[in-house]
Amino acid sequence: MEVTESLAINHGLKKEEFSKICVLLKRTPNITELAIFSAMWNEHCSYKSSRKHLKKLHTSGKQVIQGPGENAGVIDIGDDDAIVFKIESHNHPSFIEPYQGAATGVGGIMRDVFTMGARPIANLNSIHFGSPQLKKTKNLLRGVVRGIGGYGNCIGVPTIAGQTSFDESYNGNILVNAMTLGLVNKNKIFYSKAAGLDKPVIYVGSKTGRDGIHGASMASATFDDKIEEKKPTVQVGDPFTEKLLLEACLELMEDKSIIAIQDMGAAGLTSSSVEMASKGNLGIELDLNKVPCREEKMSPYEIMLSESQERMLIVLENGKENHAKRIFDKWNLNFAVIGKTTNSKNIELIFENKKVAEIPINLLAENAPIYDRKWKKTKLPQKLKFNREDLKSLGLSDCLKKILCNHNVSEKNWIWDQYDQTVMGDTIQKPGGDAGVVRVHGTKKAIAASVDSSASYCYSHPLSGGKQVVCESWRNLISVGAKPIAITNCLNFGNPEKEKNMGEFVECVEGIAEASKYLDFPVVSGNVSFYNETKDTGIKPTPTIGGVGLIKDYKNMINMNFKNIGNLIYVIGKTEGHLDQSVFAKDILNEKKGPPPSINLFNEKNIGETVYDLIEKKLVVTCHDVSLGGILTAVSKMCIKGKKGLKIYSLKGLTNKYEYFFGEDQARYVVEIPKDNIQKVVEILNKNSIHYDELGIIQEKNLTFNGDINLPIEELSDAHTYWLKEYMDK
């Protein structure tokens, strides 16, 4: 087949990029070479629009063993233990085929983790859908949830936390972000850097088929009316094979057979072989006739672009082939020596005894395009002026119940109940809390993890929104008694070729960088997903942050459940009554404009560290951060979880109860304090110059406030839990 400019454009390359390839090669590439360039130079693999800005991120710290650049990030948690973790997107595939798209997203992120020698111990997810009124939203939600549960449950890894939201900006592009944590001995971590000459290159796992071809390119393109035609680009997963692959790889990792290992994810055999060779400054030669294929007469083009799942590429020490084969045979997995490392610094492909491709590795890696795209700065919107007289006509109880059943605030039991939350027996905080928590098996330690995003805040002002989502992750970890260590990010945005979208990305990254550096909360891994756009309409900017923290003794973990009648409830952190961009403003006042709440990083750090200290000293027994819906929403959830009521005092200096109760000011926590501990808590708060309010006292049954609120816990619970189940059952 003749390779032309139009053919290159059909492969997702720009006209200028194709010209550059011809110049670099000093010839026109053949069809297989074109396929390799299209895979390695697409947005998904090359980060050509984002690389410049990702360098701003804070990526180092005392406990960071491996930052960005590997399959996943690694942090030290003491006693030679390390946590490997990462979050990845599988947005486009999940929109096209929700079950398989979501399932293979889970499978892919787990391979990223166990590729590094870690046994997966927990899964999380952040999933975002269009308007609930849109007919297809329900089907997409049902398919995605079944896909996540179907894969994770079968492989035997608990899903411990997650986030679900609905917004009309996702009508044409849903988001499915999957996160996995794994446990590894810090002296037994494996990397993807190839080393040594004439080392055997091993293919293991499932056979290669024609599913997922052009998957990486599809993930780097916008959608149009021909979306159905893209279904063949969606991979098909098999969790049972993945489980076998996991066990076989971990068994082989017990000795010193492996030099480098890489899963075949986006762009399949192409990206895995090129990345391994590039990191090792080597060449690689592959005989494609030796690749195990499940379909007849597959061409080099198809073999190199296939994204069939559950496959690994390994560079072995010489003489270890038979040893490795015995292991993979035992687990009933395909095993083949398909090539070797070379000193050519090229990727060379052999098929039917002929060389069908030869490309210098550096042309695919170092020489991939890097764009400095134009971008527009987002101005901070004018603060709205709410008519306080109008607010007075509203009923506090009615407002609260409406917010509790808001589609983004309501309980998501319908989703969580489809996930295995306790398999492996170490889950000590299930979904529904501030963060999921798993014990490090056989120790006193526990790992807390959460996923967070806030598209509305980021859309209103990306810089503030980027800071906020990092701070939200920080607060969620602290709220369960964990010391925050590091984060992973999944940056979901629209078309970067549009200045507005690119500006949203740049400023969100700057916000994330500023907050993570100030809080000493480094980014150790991540993913960028651009082109989340259909028919010229993109999503709201949605950076998702996965946070990980350590609890030194799992017995010190706390939750948001109110505990004991007679204990006092304090709000730590100052409430200014910020209603702009709040759930209250949108749901009750039908107002979607205005700026997000401001972020004071000094306050976030000072208050967060103080609350962590209070938990460590066992001075507070319950904690929950204040987020969507404000203080009244937060305490309602705490009442529901603990099956206890709360008498809220008549607050001194309260000028407007709606602003106080529903404002979404940041850097705030609600804590439960036994009366005997009040003096000590107040002394610490005063010493650290931290504002606090004595909110109320725990009582037996009802949530009450003067004559404005008198709601039984059962009524609060009904309001909070019914929406999603009712929606899915219709």
Secondary structure in 3-state letters for 272-309: HHHHHHHHHCCEEEEEHHHCCECCCCCCHHHHHHCCCC
- Distance between CA atoms of 706 and 493, rounded to whole angstroms? 45
Parallel/antiparallel/unpaired status of strands 283-287 and 346-351: parallel
What residues act catalytically? 44, 90
In angstroms, the CA 41 to CA 216 distance is 10
Write out the two tokens for 62: 């005392």
Dig out the tokens for 385 from the structure.
């002026």
For residue 679, the surrounding DSSP H or E stretch is helix 678-687
C-beta of residue 555 within 8 angstroms of C-beta of residue 621:
no
Q: Which helix (H) or strand (E) holds 727?
A: helix 713-729
Alpha carbons 218 and 602: distance in angstroms, whole number: 42
Distance separating alpha carbons of residues 269 and 492, to the nearest angstrom:
25
The CA distances from residue 113 to 35, 442, 585, in Å, are 28, 21, 41
Which three-class secondary structure string do you get for 304-359?
HHCCCCCEEEEEECCCCHHHHHHHHHHCCCEEEEEEEEECCCEEEEEECCEEEEEE
Helix (H, G, I), strand (E, B) or coil at 187: coil
Round to whole Å and give the CA distance between 615 and 559.
11
Phi–psi pair at 565, nearest 5 degrees: -60, 135
- 505 three-state secondary structure: helix
- Whether 436 and 122 have beta carbons less than 8 Å apart is answered as yes
Dist. CA 625–CA 478, nearest whole Å: 9
Written in H, E and C, the secondary structure of 560-612 is: CCCCCCCCEEEEECCCCCCCCCCHHHHHCCCCCCCCCCCCCHHHHHHHHHHHH
Q: Which residues pair with 185 in a beta bridge?
A: 81
Radius of gyration of the chain (CA): 26
Spatial strand order of the sheet with 436-439 comes to: 427-429, 436-439, 446-452, 542-551, 483-492, 523-529
Pick the closest to residue 607 from 660, 670, 539, 558 (CA basis).
Answer: 670
